[in-house]
Structure 1
Amino acid sequence: MKSKIVDERVYQAQNKIYREIYILIMVITLASIVYKYFTIGVQVNVIATELIILLSQAVYYLYRSARMGIYSAEVEMHDNNSKMPAVKKNLLGGTLTGIGISLFFGFHSALSYADTTSQALSYFFLVFFISLIIYIPFFIAFLMIPHLSAKRLSEKAEEDELKR
Structure 2
Amino acid sequence: MGSSVPAALEYLAATTATLAPVQQLRAAVVDGWPAVRGDVLIVYGVVPGDGDSDAATPVAELSREDYEAVQVPAVVIVRRAAAGATQRARRDAFALLDAIREMIRADRRLGGAVKPGDPARMVGWTMSQTAEAKQAGEGRVCQIEFTLGWTHRG
Q: TM-score range by the shorter chain?
A: under 0.3
Q: Which of 1 and 2 has greater Rg?
A: 1
Q: Which has the higher strand share?
A: 2
TM-score, with length taken from structure 1: 0.27
Superposition TM-score, scaled by structure 2 size: 0.28
Give the structure with the larger helix fraction: 1
